[in-house]
């Protein structure tokens, strides 16, 4: 192991304050975490969680306040200093080089392996095996990062951090990119590891917080507003403390009448970036005034389906009938003009032009319309008026509509996109992961907007990995698996378990336990 | 907050200029020249008399035109390094038209000649744009290569088909074309100097580029394609088409600069007519923050540098190529200044420090 000073047994923060221009990111925060304990740090986006963690890791220096390791005051200037005292962080976005192996990635950060003219890759691999056995985190040191699934990459990050000598782990929203199954798996592993380590778990998924943590601290506007033992508090209570008001995510009450068929996808075949068929005879039907949830483990063709519906991916065969008109292989413009709206997966690069102002992003699809231009000159006054109207109507928090959109928080960017798409009065809307990484307040708002427009007769395709979200909002749920819709069922018949089985690719008959039961004996037979 | 930003911006630019001046001073010192003397000559010399001022403006005109084109292409997400070649194609096209139609009246011929220059440049730029849009050929590579080709084409025409017959008769053989007919030559603004009406043309062009980029839907499309190609595609903007249009326009402005040099300054096509304006124009555009309002002063500033460098060569014994060193340092300075200007955190720190509020940092280790 690393030449450690002494294993970290306690980290204490006292009165940490950090200012950014116009924002008090951390306002006198005091926290404490000990070995054998999981502290959940909860808060909405912009509450100061990440800033605080960057201060612990020595990436930022606090304006005031102090850090203590084992009761001794420390000043970290770089992440290296933090690692030297046994503090390590797994960032939300993985810090791995895709075309290097796991061992090579570790060697990047571990100075002891670097000898004169020689890099001890075998030593790195040995160390990885040691750590992965000790903490039950199976990792193959010789695998290339790009070959690994997101869940496996997450494990690599954990192993890497442990190999670097960390005994206090900071995990920044570790589940945000994981599938439900991978999430459950990670939480289980972390529970087992917690006895030997101290863990700070940052999340705003309260059921995970509930499942994993011993204590919870809630940040709001840079200050700690609540400290408590997790067992004593229900998720709803924590949600209210986090947002400062009661949060009840709206639900689809199923009062809508089924409208006329709006969009029907027939036998759609589409090739992916590597040339393989990622959509392989996909069928889908959307009616006006309903929300059709598309559930599935990511990577089963959701992205390609969404791209194809937006006109950005060539259709090999099949039809996309929109009110009887075939939109397969039409240009994005033609599809937009036909009345399709789109909330893309990557809001930062696909939904907005980050350097454009909020008002310019509002007209991204309609700048050439009669409303916003005359003889191909932009009508600035009308654009301003329109922007102010949407800003108020969608509660978009920005200093002014001239602010660069990329500078806004994720939730507000998503509101900008949703406002643009809805203001266009679409007949159908495709929303891809519309609330990924967004805080509860914004999530509530976006959900109620979607339900609102469903009631007004808009047909909505909701592609999401959050089963909760799909089940709350949808009228019908289609499960996508390997480029096909495996089954479409009414939302009232959907349960977490049943969807989980379908998402794993097992077609059920009407009662879910049977296929699972029939699958077991055959597996047993092989064993015998 | 806005006032703070302006003060901060000013302070950063001042600080960066000082550092740049110091670096160049070191270089000057090392070649045994007096930095102060040299700076004085470079910056004050050209502006000391009317002739100097007009000469500065004569250099500023092509720099401004090229810079405008560069701004259009960079704003549209395509890095045009090929202005040098585009200028030369503009020179050839405009000269050919002027020599082919000597009988036309000035009111028709001069605009026609300028248009031909712009078209020549646009064609050359358009090739790179088309290659990028259709075949994903990196535009930096293709424009640089097209520069080499343009030089050879230019030389070929001036030494072959377009060579002035007089040169053959006298046997001096200077590679240059015949003198343009009077109807294709621009008027002078200030008599007795070389300052020609191209200046007015360039200033009008700057205004037009501003209107195009920020007031029209075409400009909106091009800027959207440049600043967020993916989002633009999702919004139904055919990004590739606007890459080609941007390169056509950028090449057109460079070609126009070439035509203006022919009709305004040299009155014939000569070798080396582009004299590095194509590359200097990139620096001019970046220094002017890719905005016409910034490119106008920036082109004048670089005009001063060019003339000043000539003067130092004569008076202070400093090689004129020192201006290239200065240009290089300025590029580095701009890049670092821009990253500072974007750092609003540094701004807030500076002002807290300024207002006497010093955060208690505790004892530093």
Measured CA to CA, the distance from residue B336 to residue B15 in angstroms comes to 11
Tell me how close the Cα of A456 comes to any Cα of chain B, in angstroms.
24
Alpha helix (H) residue ranges in chain B: 2-30, 35-44, 50-75, 83-100, 106-135, 139-159, 165-170, 198-215, 217-227, 229-234, 239-260, 277-287, 292-315, 322-341, 344-354
Edge-first strand order for the sheet with A10-20 is A23-34, A10-20, A64-69, A72-74
Beta bridge partners of A264: A285, A321
Measured CA to CA, the distance from residue B70 to residue A334 in angstroms comes to 32
| Best residue in B235, B290, B340, B345 for a mutation probing chain A (most A CBs within 10 Å) | B235
| A271-280, A326-335, A391-400, B335-344: the lowest-pLDDT one | B335-344
Measured CA to CA, the distance from residue B227 to residue A356 in angstroms comes to 8
* Average pLDDT over every residue of A260-271: 92
Residue A430's pLDDT is 94
Size of interface A-B (CB pairs under 8 A): 92
- More reliable by pLDDT, A350 or A20: A350
Q: In the block, which residue shows the tokens 């201060």?
A: A55
Q: Cβ A22–B1 below 8 Å, yes or no?
A: yes
SS3 A258: coil
Determine the Cα angle at A331 with ends A330 and A336, to 5°.
Answer: 100
Q: Cβ A364–B235 below 8 Å, yes or no?
A: yes
Task: Tell me which chain A residues have a C-beta less than 8 angstroms from the C-beta of B231.
Answer: 349-353, 364
Task: Tell me which chain B residues have a C-beta less than 8 angstroms from the C-beta of A365.
Answer: 235-236
Partner residue facing A332 (CB), from B215, B224, B236: B236
* Average pLDDT over every residue of A152-175: 89
Buried-exposed string A358-373: b where 16+ CB fall within 10 A, e elsewhere = bbbbbbbbbbbeeebb
| A3-17, A93-107, A432-446: the lowest-pLDDT one | A3-17
The DSSP secondary-structure symbol of B179 reads P
Tell me how close the Cα of A418 comes to any Cα of chain B, in angstroms.
13
Q: Cβ A377–B1 below 8 Å, yes or no?
A: no
Is residue A158 within 8 A of residue A90, CB to CB? The reply is yes
Measured CA to CA, the distance from residue A346 to residue A359 in angstroms comes to 20
- B219, two tokens: 């400009």
The CB density around residue A20, as the number of other CB atoms within 10 Å, is: 17
Q: Cβ B352–A355 below 8 Å, yes or no?
A: no
ipTM surpasses cut 0.95: no
B231 touches chain A (CB under 8 A): yes
Q: Cβ B231–A351 below 8 Å, yes or no?
A: yes
- B191, two tokens: 């008599």
Tell me how close the Cα of A310 comes to any Cα of chain B, in angstroms.
7
The CB density around residue A347, as the number of other CB atoms within 10 Å, is: 25
Measured CA to CA, the distance from residue A475 to residue A227 in angstroms comes to 39
Q: How many CA atoms lie within 13 A of A504 on its CB side?
A: 14
- A183, two tokens: 């999430």
Residue B344's pLDDT is 66
Determine the Cα angle at A431 with ends A277 and A317, to 5°.
Answer: 25
Of how many residues is chain B composed? 365
Residue A263's pLDDT is 93
| Best residue in A15, A20, A21, A330 for a mutation probing chain B (most B CBs within 10 Å) | A21
Residue A495's pLDDT is 85
Determine the Cα angle at B250 with ends B248 and B252, to 5°.
Answer: 65
Task: Tell me which chain A residues have a C-beta less than 8 angstroms from the C-beta of B235.
Answer: 332, 336, 364-365
Measured CA to CA, the distance from residue B142 to residue A134 in angstroms comes to 55
* pLDDT-flagged residues of chain B (< 50): 1, 357-365
Measured CA to CA, the distance from residue A508 to residue B97 in angstroms comes to 78
Sequence-distant (≥ 6) Cβ neighbours of residue B57 within 8 angstroms = B195, B199, B300, B303
Give the rounded percent of residues in chain A with a pLDDT score beyond 90: 38
Q: Cβ A21–B345 below 8 Å, yes or no?
A: yes
Per-residue pLDDT tens over the stretch A382-397: 999 999 999 999 988 8
pLDDT at A6 over 80: no
B217 touches chain A (CB under 8 A): yes
Taking CA atoms, what residue in A is nearest to B1?
A22
Sequence-distant (≥ 6) Cβ neighbours of residue A343 within 8 angstroms = A351, A414, A417, A418, A421, A429, A430, A431, A432, A434
Taking CA atoms, what residue in A is nearest to B218?
A376
- B3, two tokens: 């006032």
Measured CA to CA, the distance from residue B314 to residue B324 in angstroms comes to 17
Q: Which of B:330-359 have CB within 8 Å of A?
A: 344-345, 347-348, 352, 359
Measured CA to CA, the distance from residue A359 to residue A118 in angstroms comes to 56
- A442, two tokens: 């914004």
Measured CA to CA, the distance from residue A258 to residue A453 in angstroms comes to 14
Is residue A27 within 8 A of residue B355, CB to CB? The reply is no
Taking CA atoms, what residue in B is nearest to A364?
B235
The CB density around residue A78, as the number of other CB atoms within 10 Å, is: 11
Measured CA to CA, the distance from residue A102 to residue A215 in angstroms comes to 33
Q: Cβ B345–A367 below 8 Å, yes or no?
A: no
CA B325 to chain centre: 17
Tell me how close the Cα of A138 comes to any Cα of chain B, in angstroms.
37
Beta bridge partners of A463: A294, A432
Q: Cβ A353–B217 below 8 Å, yes or no?
A: no
Q: Which of B:233-272 have CB within 8 Å of A?
A: 233-238
For A353-411, the DSSP string reads: -TTSBHHHHHTTTTTTSTTTEETTEE-HHHHHHHHHHHHHHTT---S-TTSBGGGS-HH
Per-residue pLDDT tens over the stretch A32-69: 999 989 999 988 777 788 889 889 998 888 889 999 99
Interface list for chain A against chain B, based on CB atoms closer than 8 Å = 17, 19-22, 61, 63-64, 66, 73, 75, 77, 310-312, 331-333, 335-337, 342, 344, 346, 349-356, 360, 363-365, 367-368, 373, 376-378, 380
Q: Cβ A64–B364 below 8 Å, yes or no?
A: no
Measured CA to CA, the distance from residue B98 to residue B102 in angstroms comes to 6
- A444, two tokens: 């509530």
Tell me the range of A180-184, A235-239, A504-508 where mean pLDDT is highest: A235-239
Taking CA atoms, what residue in B is nearest to A307?
B234
* Average pLDDT over every residue of A470-486: 91
Instruction: Look up the CATH architecture of domain A258-339+426-528.
Output: 3-Layer(aba) Sandwich (3.40)
Measured CA to CA, the distance from residue B119 to residue B122 in angstroms comes to 5
For B206-222, the DSSP string reads: HHHHHHHHHHBHHHHHH
Closest to B195 in 3D by CA, of B55, B37, B13: B55
Task: Tell me which chain B residues have a C-beta less than 8 angstroms from the C-beta of A73.
Answer: 362
Task: Tell me which chain B residues have a C-beta less than 8 angstroms from the C-beta of A350.
Answer: 230-231, 234
Is residue B19 within 8 A of residue B333, CB to CB? The reply is yes
Task: Tell me which chain B residues have a C-beta less than 8 angstroms from the C-beta of A368.
Answer: 217
For A493-512, the DSSP string reads: G--HHHHHHHHTTPPP-SST
pLDDT band at A525; cut points 50, 70, 90:
very low
Q: How far is CA A146 from CA A158, A181, A296, B230, in A?
A: 17, 20, 22, 23
SS3 A325: strand
Is residue A502 within 8 A of residue A481, CB to CB? The reply is yes
CA dihedral for B156, B157, B162, B163, sign (positive or negative): negative
Spans of all domains in chain B = 64-303
Fold of A10-243: Rossmann fold (3.40.50)
Task: Tell me which chain B residues have a C-beta less than 8 angstroms from the C-beta of A19.
Answer: 348, 352
| Mean pLDDT score of chain A | 86
pLDDT at A133 over 50: yes
Virtual CA dihedral for A51, A52, A56, A61, nearest 10 degrees? Answer: 60
Measured CA to CA, the distance from residue A225 to residue A223 in angstroms comes to 6
Tell me how close the Cα of A331 comes to any Cα of chain B, in angstroms.
7
Residue B348's pLDDT is 67
Per-residue pLDDT tens over the stretch A196-234: 899 999 887 888 888 899 999 998 888 898 898 988 888
CATH 3.40.50.300 residue window(s) in chain A: 10-243, 258-339+426-528
| A191-195, A488-492, B315-319: the lowest-pLDDT one | B315-319
Measured CA to CA, the distance from residue A219 to residue A230 in angstroms comes to 15
């Amino acid at each position: 192991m690393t030449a450690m000073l002494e294993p970290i047994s306690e980290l204490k923060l006292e009165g940490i304050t950090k200012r950014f221009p116009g924002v008090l990111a951390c306002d006198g925060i005091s926290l404490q975490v000990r070995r054998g304990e999981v502290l959940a740090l909860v808060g909405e986006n912009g509450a100061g969680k990440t800033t605080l963690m960057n201060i612990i890791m020595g990436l930022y220096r606090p304006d005031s306040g102090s850090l203590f390791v084992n009761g001794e005051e420390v000043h970290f200037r770089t992440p290296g200093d933090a690692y030297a005292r046994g503090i390590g962080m797994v960032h939300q976005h993985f810090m791995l080089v895709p075309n290097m192996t796991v061992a090579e990635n570790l060697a990047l950060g571990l100075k002891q392996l670097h000898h004169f003219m020689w890099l001890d890759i075998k030593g790195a691999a040995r160390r990885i095996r040691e750590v992965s056995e000790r903490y039950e985190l199976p990792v193959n040191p010789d695998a290339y990062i790009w070959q690994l699934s997101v869940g496996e990459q997450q494990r690599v990050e954990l192993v890497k951090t442990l190999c670097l000598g960390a005994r206090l782990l900071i995990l920044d929203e570790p589940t945000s990119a994981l599938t439900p199954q991978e999430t459950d798996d990670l939480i289980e592993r972390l529970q087992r590891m917690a006895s030997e380590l101290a863990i700070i778990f940052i999340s705003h998924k309260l059921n995970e917080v509930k499942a994993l943590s011993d204590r919870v601290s809630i940040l709001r506007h840079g200050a700690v507003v609540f400290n408590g033992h997790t067992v004593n508090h229900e998720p709803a209570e924590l949600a209210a403390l986090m947002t400062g008001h009661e949060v009840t995510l709206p639900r689809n009450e199923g009062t809508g009448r089924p409208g006329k068929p709006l969009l029907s996808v027939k036998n759609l075949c589409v090739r992916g970036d590597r040339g393989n068929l990622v959509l392989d005879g996909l069928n889908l039907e959307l009616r006006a005034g309903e929300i059709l949830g598309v559930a599935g483990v990511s990577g089963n063709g959701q992205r390609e389906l969404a791209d194809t519906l937006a006109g950005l991916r060539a259709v090999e065969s099949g039809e996309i009938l929109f009110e009887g008109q075939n939109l397969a292989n039409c240009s994005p413009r033609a599809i937009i003009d036909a009345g399709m709206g789109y909330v893309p997966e990557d809001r930062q690069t696909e939904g907005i032009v980050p350097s454009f102002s909020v008002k310019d992003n509002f007209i991204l699809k309609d700048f050439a319309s009669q409303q916003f231009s005359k003889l191909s000159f932009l009508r600035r006054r009308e654009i301003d008026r329109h922007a102010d109207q949407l800003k108020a109507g969608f509660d978009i928090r920005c200093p002014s509509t001239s602010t660069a959109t990329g500078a806004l928080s994720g939730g507000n960017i998503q509101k900008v996109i949703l406002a643009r798409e809805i203001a266009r009065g679409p007949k159908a809307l495709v929303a891809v992961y519309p609330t990924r990484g967004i805080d509860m307040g914004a999530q509530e708002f976006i959900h109620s907007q979607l339900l609102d427009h469903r009631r007004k007769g808009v047909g909505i395709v909701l592609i999401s990995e959050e089963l909760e979200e799909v089940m709350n909002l949808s009228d019908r749920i289609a499960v996508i698996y390997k480029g096909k819709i495996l089954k479409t069922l009414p939302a009232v018949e959907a349960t977490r378990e049943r969807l989980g089985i379908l998402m794993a690719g097992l077609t059920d008959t009407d009662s879910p336990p049977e296929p699972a039961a029939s699958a077991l004996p055959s597996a047993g037979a092989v064993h015998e | 907050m806005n006032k703070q930003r302006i003060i901060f911006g000013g302070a950063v630019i001042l600080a960066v200029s000082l550092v740049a001046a110091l670096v160049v001073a070191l270089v000057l010192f090392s070649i045994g020249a007096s930095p102060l003397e040299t700076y004085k000559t470079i910056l004050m010399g050209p502006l000391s008399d009317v002739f100097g001022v007009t000469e500065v403006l004569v250099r500023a005109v092509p720099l401004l035109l090229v810079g405008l084109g560069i701004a259009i292409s960079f704003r549209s997400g395509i890095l045009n390094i090929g202005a040098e070649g585009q200028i030369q194609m503009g020179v050839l096209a405009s000269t050919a038209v002027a020599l082919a139609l000597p009988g036309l009246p000035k009111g028709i011929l001069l605009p026609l000649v300028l248009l031909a220059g712009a078209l020549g440049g646009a064609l050359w730029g358009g090739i790179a744009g088309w290659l990028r849009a259709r075949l994903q050929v990196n535009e930096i590579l293709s424009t640089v290569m097209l520069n080499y080709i343009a030089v050879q084409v230019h030389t070929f025409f001036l030494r072959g088909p377009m060579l002035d017959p007089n040169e053959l008769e006298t046997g001096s053989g200077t590679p240059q074309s015949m003198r343009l007919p009077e109807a294709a030559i621009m008027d002078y603004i200030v008599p007795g100097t070389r300052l020609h009406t191209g200046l007015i043309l360039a200033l009008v062009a700057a205004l037009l580029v501003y209107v195009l980029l920020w007031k029209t839907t075409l400009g909106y499309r091009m800027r959207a394609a440049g600043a967020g190609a993916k989002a633009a595609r999702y919004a139904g903007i055919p990004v590739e088409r606007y890459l080609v249009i941007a390169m056509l326009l950028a090449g057109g402005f460079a070609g126009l600069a070439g035509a203006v040099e022919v009709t305004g300054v040299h009155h014939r096509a000569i070798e080396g007519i582009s004299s590095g304006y194509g590359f200097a124009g990139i620096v001019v555009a970046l220094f002017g923050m890719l905005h016409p309002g910034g490119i106008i002063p920036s082109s004048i500033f670089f005009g001063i540098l060019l003339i000043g460098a000539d003067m130092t060569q004569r008076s202070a014994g400093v090689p004129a190529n020192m201006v290239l060193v200065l240009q290089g340092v300025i590029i580095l300075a701009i890049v670092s200044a821009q990253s500072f200007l974007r750092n609003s955190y540094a701004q807030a720190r500076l002002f807290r420090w300024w207002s006497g509020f010093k955060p208690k940092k505790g004892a530093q280790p």
